[in-house]
Amino acid sequence: MTVAIIGSRKTEDFSIENMISRIPQNATELVSGGAEGVDAMAVQAALMLGLPIQVFSPDYKIYGNMAPLVRDRRIVDAADLVLAFWDGHSRGTAYTLKYCIERRRPFRIYLFHSPDFSSPEFS
Q: What range defines the domain where residue 9 resides?
A: 2-122
**How many independent structural domains does the chain possess?**
1
- pLDDT tens across 68-103, in order? 999 999 999 999 999 999 888 889 999 999 999 999
Residue 75 has a pLDDT of 98
Asked if the model's pLDDT at residue 114 lies above 70, the reply is: no
DSSP codes joined into one string, 44-71: HHHHHHT--EEE----HHHHGGGHHHHH
| Region 51-80 average pLDDT | 97
pTM for the full model?
Answer: 0.89
CATH of the domain at 53: 3.40.50.450
